[in-house]
Chain A
């Protein structure tokens, strides 16, 4: 699916544990987006990152959620002290944006988090 790699595909966590979701963008892409899809709902924008910078986190819950995209390695979406309502599919996307908009963003296959 256009080369965006997400892992794990499926993750089960108990309430109160931490969840870490990883995303490697397509080769040549340095812009990463995270979206969340709650059951029976559409995709909601969470955060947009460039290497070492969070550009737009307007969709991130205020607490327990954080994201990073280090200079080396994948982007990480971290959810601390997970609750049942965090159960969702988390999609990562990347684009080749270089100061312009209007690119197609390509999604990974998603990471399904289940909180028990």
Chain B
């Protein structure tokens, strides 16, 4: 069965600090997809990144970077030089290819990030 764990429930950092949000996943599939979504206080869900299980290259997008480690089943998310606008709940999610032909995405419980000015 698939499962996503985000052990950090809440994190507070001071503006300009770097912060890493942890994500550990469980799956029996060899082909799977990992995602991060952001939910700001306004409530909508914003897609940040999608990574497939065959691509272990780390990715950087501006102040955001993602570290995918299959050996430890982790897909961690780092925000460099955090800003107040980064304050949000961040969800890590997993979708298995499996036998389905659709995208049933399972979410972790989320990490609430507060960036203090």
Chain A residues close to B by CB (< 8 Å):
1-2, 31, 33, 35, 41-45, 48, 55-56, 89, 91, 93, 95, 97, 99-110, 112
| Residues on the A chain within 8 Å of B95, using CB | 101-102
Q: How many contacting A-B pairs (Cβ < 8 A)?
A: 73
* Shortest distance from the beta carbon of A77 to any chain B beta carbon, whole Å: 16
Q: Is the CB of B105 within 8 A of A99?
A: no
Q: Which of B33, B91, B97 contacts A43 (CB 8 A)?
A: B91
| Contact (A42, B52) CB under 8 Å given A100-B101, A104-B35 | no
Q: Is the CB of B45 within 8 A of A56?
A: no
The answer to the question of B28 belonging to the interface, with a C-beta cut-off of 8 Å to chain A, is no
Bound Cα distance from A31 to B44, whole angstroms: 20
| Residues on the B chain within 8 Å of A104, using CB | 35, 47, 50, 103
26 of the cross-chain contacts (CB-CB < 8 Å) are A33-B105, A35-B107, A41-B109, A42-B108, A42-B109, A43-B45, A43-B91, A43-B107, A45-B105, A45-B106, A55-B102, A91-B45, A97-B101, A99-B101, A101-B33, A101-B95, A101-B102, A102-B33, A102-B95, A102-B97, A104-B47, A105-B105, A107-B44, A109-B44, A110-B43, A112-B43
